[in-house]
Structures are given as C-alpha cells and as structure tokens.
Amino acid sequence: MTAITHTVSDSLTMLRRDFRHLQRYPVMAISGLIMPVFMMLLFVYVFGGAMLTTVGGGSYVDYLVPGILVMAVGAGSAGTAVNVNVDMTEGVIARFRTMAIARVSVLTGQVVGSMIRTAVSLALVVGVALLIGFRPRATFGDWLLAIAVLLMLTLALTWLAVAGGLAANKPEGANGFSLPFQFLPFISSAFVPTDSMAPGLAWFAQHQPFTPIIDTLRGVLTGTPIGNSGWLAVGWCLLATLGGYFWARKLYNRDPSR
Amino acid sequence: MTISAFGLRKNFGDHVVLDGIDLAVPQGSVFSLLGPNGAGKTTAVQILSTLITPDGGEARIGGHDLRTDPDGVRSVIGVTGQFSAVDSLLTGEENLLLMADLRHLPRREGRRITAGLLERFDLEEAARKPASTYSGGMRRRLDLAMTLVGGPRVIFLDEPTTGLDPRSRHGLWQIIRELVAAEGVTIFLTTQYLEEADRLADRIAVLDGGKLVAEGTAAELKRMVPGGHVSLRFSDAHALDVAARALGSTNRDDDALTLQVPGDGGVRSLRTLLDELDRAAIEPDGLTVHTPDLDDVFFALTGRPTLEGSPR
C-alpha cells in the first residue's frame, strides 16, 4: 500500500522537478511547440493548393490536421529522448539511485511531464487549425475518442523515447533515435493518400503503424471511413508502450557505468 | 557493527577492482578507506551504497542486507560522491526541498530542515540561485547538505574534499567532526589525502590494488613503520664533532651541521638524549622531532613513495 502511494508521490515530486527544469530552460520546449504549427501552416498555404487534387477535393486543412497532430507527438518524443539523455548525465541521478524512492519514479516523472507538454502542443495545433479553417464534424464523444487515441500514441512514443534516451550515449544519439518518429509520418497517409504513392512505397505506407493511427483520427474527427484501422492503432500503441516501458526499466536498472 | 562486509569482490571485465574486502565499522565512528587513485575506493562506496552490485561477498549496513534488502539500506544511508550529485538546474533551496520530498517529510518540516541546512552550510545568500552558478566549495557543501536531509544514520563520503581549496577543505572537516560528535552518525570516508584520514578517522584501512593491506588507528599504522628520529642542529663543526662522539652511531650531515638520532620522539628518550648532551657540555642550536607519518606507512606497505600523484 505505502509502496504504491510512494510511487505516486515520488513520481509527482519528479514531475515538479521536470517543470522546474522547463522553467529554467524553456527554449527547447517552445521550439517544440512552434514546430508542428509551422509545419501545418507550411502545408496548408504552400503545398495545400497542389495537394487538394490528390486528396480528392474538400478542404486540405481537414485532411491534414490528423497527420500534423501525429507529427506533433513525434516531435514531442524527440525532446523527451534528449531530455532524458541529458538528465542521466546529471550527478543527482546517481543520488536518486541510492535513496529509498520508487526507482521507476524518475522515469514516470519524465513521462508524465512529456505527456503534458505534448498535450499543450496538440491543443495549440487544434486551436490554430480551427483559426485557419479546420471544420471537424466530430461530436463531443468523437473528440473524446480522438483525445484517447492521441494520449495512447503519446504514451507509446514517450516510453520509447525514454528508452532511447537511456540507451544513447550522447544527446545527439538520443535525437537520432527519435528521427523515425518524426519522418515516418511523411511516408504515411498524413499528407497524401497512400495509393497516390509509388507502388513499393505505397505498400510500406499502408502497413506502417502511423497510417492506421492517422486514419483513425481522421475518421473520428472528419467522418472518413475507419475500417479496421481503429484496432490496428490500439494494437500498435499498446505494443510500443509495453516495449518502451520494459526496455526503459531494464536500461535504468542496470548498473551505471562510471 | 553498523557496516560489516565480507569478501566483497568486483571485476570490470578482466580487471579486478576489489579482490575480497572485509570491513567492520562500529556505530558513531569515522572509518577511512585510504588509497591512491584506482585502488578501488569509489567502487567500494558504490557497492556499499547500493549503486552497483558486487560480483561476490556479503555486506550489512545499519542491519539491512545489501543483497536482499537494498531499499532498507537506502533508507538509512546518505551518499556524497566525488562527482557532485546536485541538480544544477535547480537552486540550492529547491535541491534541498527535492530531497525532503523524496524522503517523504511533511512540507512544513521539509522547509524547516531546508532553512536550517542553508544556514548551517553558509548557503543562505545563494539559496535562490541555480546550483550551476555555485563554486566548487559551495557545490560540495550543498551536496553534503542534501545528503543530510532526512537524517541518515550512515554517511558515505567519497573523496569529499578532492579538488577543494584548503579553506573549504578545513570547513568541511569541521562539519564532518560536528556530525559525529553531535548526532552520532557513522561515517565511511574515502580519501587519497593522508592528512584527511589522520585528522578525521578513528580507524583507517589502506587499500591498494583492490586489497586491504593494513588496518588500524592512525597511531597503530604509524607504529608499524620505523623511521622516527630526532634531528639536532649545531652552531659549528666542533660542537657537531663532540656531539657525534658523545652520542655514538648517528647520521651526520657536515654541511647542514645536523645530527640525526634514531628514536621514537617520546619524552623519555628525548630526556635521555638531552642528558647525554649535557654531560658532554654541548648545547644544540635547535632540535626537531620527526615521527613517522602515514606517508611512511604507505611507502612501507606498498613500496610506492606517496599517495598523491600515484599513477592510476
């Protein structure tokens, strides 16, 4: 019983620490917030006109927003991986290891902090999207579903990013680890339908995890067909979360090499 | 025994860092592990403070078994390593409050303890500045203050004064002495400075190449080596001659006009020596007593001249 309350209170303490860091060094968080919005504006106003024929009419913003939301989660995970990696070089981590605190709380604090940052970034994207003409047809329940999908994806990518941050020797390596999360959405249904791509690439785009997640979000928000994408999205997220969690825990529990 | 260990072993690859170490530290005492760089001091602290796992051996700290109850060990210890374990993005005050939260102290008590430690460690002025702006001595003081939050019964200090200027070093020694005197904590200290072990430790163990080569009080260790002598200085060559004849076999230095007489430097042997000079009607200009120091001990035990500057 006390073990569980300690895990929660220790994680909250670590979360507060994470926010203090953010206060002291906000540059990275701010650039992480602006980047997805900038991408959205770029795609709507620069490529949007040309894209419209590919996506088959309607409003390109409506097509684009689910993809940008997923990219925002990917961008957030890059920051998490670097954060974790830099934090592990702080001497205070060695001190935490010699204290009677829930070991995993150092990581859960990071995860919760990252999820809150990503949530803010997602809210910003949706806000700007609505300003520039995004007109979702989602009911209140649909919005809740969309939020649930985004949270699942964020949890999954964040745990993977924490593991990547622990595994990498340097911040550059940690950043490199999260590059796939930032670039895979380009080869998915985020910007154009997958069947408009070259055949080999189209097959990859249809079967990589980001496509069912984006299709689910798009279906929930704008009413396009979802098919079996919903279950695939849940499956991929669950798999990545568990994989990331156990990998991160294993890496954190190994003897520090110094 | 507050700390007891039997046969602690640790290898890094082929390299044997600790080769079977036995330790016994009674409650409320200061124990010093003395040795050159690379002797395995830090590894010993890392094992005893649950940071790394040993490849062999047993240890109990504060009644908790290292292997089966690491969280129990963690609940009674505090560690200040040779690499500063502060959060450099947080202020000194925030660092201390963080420790209070992680020790699950009530808010109010955490604030009270933090305020007390900031005052005691002379960090009040810098309390609201990020630790990254602190000097080496300030960081080390903050580090030790963080270790003290929650009142650990056993404190590990891994080369606590390495890299500090003499003033900061003396300040830290004073704090360590007070801790033992006022709160009865047990201190496990590693150092490569003979003077530090000599001044602080009740018992000293000399670690060399992963093995304990000697253990005892500073006085006991010094008694293990010969090398004490009394050095007499004279005003002219004639006095030196007469004295040398009167005292029999001595080491004489004609240029410096000194004689070295073997002896332990005790009051009785000094009196005998001076009586002999009296009988020969000679009065030396000056007299110095050289007792063996830990440098001599280390040389005698390891065959290497000194601790400082030993190769890694």
Q: What pLDDT, on a 0 to 100 scale, did the predictor assign at position B309? A: 43
A8 touches chain B (CB under 8 A): no
B111 touches chain A (CB under 8 A): no
Interface of A with B in 238-257 (CB under 8 A): 255-256
Cα–Cα distances in angstroms (integers) from residue A222 to residues A92, A123, A132, A168, B227, in the given order:
47, 17, 16, 39, 91
B50–chain A nearest CA distance, Å: 6
* Domain annotation covers residue A161: yes
Q: What pLDDT, on a 0 to 100 scale, did the predictor assign at position A132? A: 92
The label of the residue with tokens 């303890």 reads B113
Put simply, the answer to whether B83 touches A25 (Cβ < 8 Å) is no
Q: What pLDDT, on a 0 to 100 scale, did the predictor assign at position B114? A: 96
CB atoms within 10 A of CB B244: 17
Put simply, the answer to whether B79 touches A101 (Cβ < 8 Å) is no
The answer to whether A105 and A13 have CB atoms below 8 angstroms apart is: yes
At residue A223, what is the residue type?
G
pLDDT per residue over B99-157, tens digit each? 999 999 999 999 999 999 999 888 999 999 999 999 888 898 899 999 999 889 999 99
Please determine, for residue B306, whether its predicted confidence score (pLDDT) is greater than 60: no
CB atoms within 10 A of CB B190: 28
B48 touches chain A (CB under 8 A): no
Cα–Cα distances in angstroms (integers) from residue A11 to residues A25, A72, A79, A161, in the given order:
21, 25, 19, 18
Please determine, for residue A236, whether its predicted confidence score (pLDDT) is greater than 80: yes
Number of domains making up chain A: 1
State how far the Cα of A14 lies from the Cα of B102, in Å rounded to an integer. Answer: 9
The answer to whether B149 and B99 have CB atoms below 8 angstroms apart is: yes
* Domain annotation covers residue A37: yes
Put simply, the answer to whether B85 touches A100 (Cβ < 8 Å) is no
* Domain annotation covers residue A132: no
pLDDT bin (cut points 50, 70, 90) of residue B188 is very high
Q: What pLDDT, on a 0 to 100 scale, did the predictor assign at position B22? A: 93
pLDDT per residue over A102-139, tens digit each? 888 999 999 999 999 999 999 999 999 999 989 998 89
Q: SS3 for A182?
A: helix
State how far the Cα of B73 lies from the Cα of B160, in Å rounded to an integer. Answer: 21
pLDDT per residue over A176-229, tens digit each? 888 888 889 988 988 888 888 888 899 999 999 999 999 999 999 998 888 899
Using CB atoms, which residue from A20, A95, A97 is nearest to B89? A20
Put simply, the answer to whether B101 touches A100 (Cβ < 8 Å) is no
Cα–Cα distances in angstroms (integers) from residue B10 to residues B3, B83, B176, B209, B233, in the given order:
18, 21, 29, 12, 52
- Report the candidate in A234, A209, A74, A217 with the shortest Cα–Cα distance to residue A143: A217
CB atoms within 10 A of CB B251: 12
Q: Pick the residue from chain A with its C-alpha nearest to B106.
A: A9
* Domain annotation covers residue A60: no
* Domain annotation covers residue A131: no
A10 touches chain B (CB under 8 A): yes
* Domain annotation covers residue A89: yes
> Which domains are present in chain B?
3-223 (3.40.50.300), 229-290 (3.30.70)
* Domain annotation covers residue A135: no
* Domain annotation covers residue A170: yes
- Report the candidate in A147, A131, A155 with the shortest Cα–Cα distance to residue A69: A147
Residue A159 — φ and ψ, nearest 5°?
-65, -40
Cβ contacts of B102-108, under 8 Å, gap ≥ 24: B102/A10, B102/A13, B102/A96, B102/A99, B102/A101, B103/A99, B103/B149, B103/B150, B104/A6, B104/A9, B105/B149, B105/B150
Q: CB burial class (10 A; 0-12, 13-18, 19+) of residue B16?
A: middle
- Give the percent of chain B with pLDDT over 90: 39
Residue A216, domain extent: 2-52+65-125+142-253
